[in-house]
Chain A
Amino acid sequence: MNKLSLGRYVPGDSILHQLDPRAKLVSGFYFIIVLFIANNWQTYLLLWLFTLGVMRLSKVHLYTYFRGVRPLIWLILFTVVLQMLFTAGGTIYVEWGPIRISEFGLINGVYIFCRFVMIIFISTAITLTTKPIDLTDGIDSLLGPLRKLNIPVDEISLMLSISLRFIPNLLDETQRVMDAQRARGTEFGEGSLVQQMKTLVPIFLPLFTNSLNRAEELANVMEVKGYQSGIKRSSFRKLRWKTCDTITLCVMAALTIGLILLRLN
């Protein structure tokens, strides 16, 4: 269960925890956009300062952030290497057959690497400090205007919130079924690939049937409690936009101005 803690919410009382999920989501997406303003080491330095500042504010251990990068490290390195090989210009450092690493290629590679890592750090900072349900509410609220296009925003976000609510149950259940199989002598992660796949079948079958039963019971309960899709429902959870959320958006604006100024230099 702990292996899957990537991007999981860590309870806390930092400023980041207290921000409105909408402020965090909007700033997060906006950050990805302003990343593209950066084009020299000064701008990247500013972005790094911002990213590290945000990580610091979350009061979550640095180690948790690095764990977020680890599963993606190969993808990142692959992109970086491609970038290095296919950007030409400037002094050539390495020339080895068709492989050529130039000054610009190297710099570009480093920049790309920084972008990737910063995006991961910032999005991890958001997921670590926001309860999944608050994220759902934030998305629901931000997607609100789509209701006019007849997109069932409320249904989607309810579905999302219920799925999130059942993830721990599913993980527990998987663990239980695996333990039960282990007690019967099954060894996981051993033998050929086909054998390994075979040991997984008796896990997925019970999980699958359980989930179906669960879904049916859940649907029954929702129905009995008067839930009908398309009805007008009030909401018990309320998002509250506070001064610190407005300040956050101002910080993002300041970051943009800073980047533009440094870029013009």
Chain B
Amino acid sequence: MAPIIEVNNLTYRYDLRTETKALLSVSFTVHRGEWFAIIGNNGSGKSTLAQLLTGLLEPQQGSIFIADMEMTEKSKWEIRNRIGVVFQNPDNQFIGSTVQDDVAFGLENLNMDYKEMKKRVYEALKMVGMFEYRLYDPSHLSGGQKQRVAIAGALAMKPDVLILDEAFVMLDPRSRRELLETIHELKVSADLTVVSITHDMTEVEAADRVVVLDNGQVTNIGKPREIFTQEKELTPPLGEKLRRALAKRGANVPQSYMSREEVMCWLWK
């Protein structure tokens, strides 16, 4: 698998007068078509990383390659045409005066013609289940609905890489599940790469790989089952939780990490 994102030795400091670094020597690669989860406590540097990946901040040290292009002042516009981003606060990223205007904003910047634009906007709105709301203005939407619009705006760009910064926090569990499924389908059908900053352990469990950030540093990187086995302070997903509870009670469960399906199979035996 070819890497689509390569981050080497990335270091970032907001305040150059102090030594506190928001990110310190962060390195990782993300492969094409992978679902890559980023987890970590508040203030661990996740959003900073998202801003570096989109060229909003310039690294003090290290480099970022996306789709074989190094992120520079010049190349960032080209790179941005290939990534879709959803930031944390849905209210402050609603630019349009209606739902459909907002989804169209990025397409307008590509100078896309009206017919194609309309098709893409409608498609994206249907994907996130906001089509009926297309003429609403943002003051009549809930936080979760605004997040869905923001996701539609990113999907309408048909990006190679989708970067999500806690993009689902305001959604109810069911819409969250549905949206994750939709994006998973795109990942398979359109070879979309997803970089998702999240606190949702169910989502982390479904990711291909996970990186753990702590105080601006990468403390762990690997498959979800490895991460959940090694990082004891993480709340594990339901299956593993059940396995650990059973083990504690002295049941004769396997010693290693189990997903929900695995636990179910084991229980049925």
Contacts and interface: CB of A to CB of B under 8 A. Distances in A.
B80 A224 contact: yes
Contact of B77 (A162, A221, A226, A235): A226
A235 B93 CA distance: 19
A217 B56 contact: no
A169 B104 CA distance: 21
B111 A234 contact: yes
Given A161-B97, A217-B87, A231 B111 contact: yes
Q: How large is the interface on B (under 10, 10 to 19, 20 to 34, 35 or more residues)?
A: 35 or more
A238 B117 CA distance: 12
A236 B100 contact: yes
B51 A237 contact: no
Interface in A158-189: 161-162, 164-165, 168-169, 172
21 contacts: A165-B95, A165-B138, A169-B91, A172-B139, A214-B91, A217-B93, A218-B95, A220-B56, A221-B87, A221-B95, A224-B54, A224-B55, A224-B56, A225-B95, A226-B109, A226-B110, A231-B111, A233-B109, A234-B108, A236-B107, A236-B117
A168 B87 contact: no
Contacts of A231: 109, 111
A226 B121 contact: no
Contacts of B157: 225
B85 interface: yes
A217 B89 contact: yes
B92 interface: yes
B51 A225 contact: no
Interface of A: 131-133, 161-162, 164-165, 168-169, 172, 213-214, 217-218, 220-228, 231-238
A220 B51 contact: yes
B92 A232 contact: no
Interface string B102-138: 0011111111111001100100000000000000011
Contact of A224 (B85, B97, B100, B114): B85
Nearest to B54: A224
A234 B114 contact: yes
* Residue of A172, A214, A227 with most partner-chain B CB within 10 A: A227
Nearest to B153: A225
A170 to B, nearest CB: 11
Given A218-B92, A220-B51, A233-B108, A228 B97 contact: no
B36 interface: no
Interface in B138-177: 138-139, 153, 157
Interface of B: 51, 54-56, 77, 80-81, 83, 85, 87, 89, 91-98, 100-101, 104-114, 117-118, 121, 137-139, 153, 157
Contacts of B96: 165
Looking at chain A's contact residues, the main secondary structure is: helix
Given A164-B97, A217-B92, A236-B121, A226 B87 contact: no
A133 B105 CA distance: 14
A233 B104 CA distance: 11
A231 to B, nearest CB: 7
Nearest to B110: A226
B98 A228 contact: no
Nearest to B51: A220
Contact of A225 (B92, B97, B106, B112): B106
Contacts of B112: 234
A183 to B, nearest CB: 23
| A-B pairs with lowest CB-CB distance, top 5 | A236-B104, A225-B106, A226-B109, A217-B92, A133-B97
* Residue of B92, B101, B111 with most partner-chain A CB within 10 A: B92
Nearest to A161: B97
Contact of B98 (A133, A172, A226): A133
Contact of B108 (A132, A133, A161, A235): A235
A225 B97 CA distance: 16
A219 B100 CA distance: 19
Nearest to A9: B137
Nearest to A221: B93
A165 B87 CA distance: 19
B95 A220 contact: no
B139 to A, nearest CB: 4
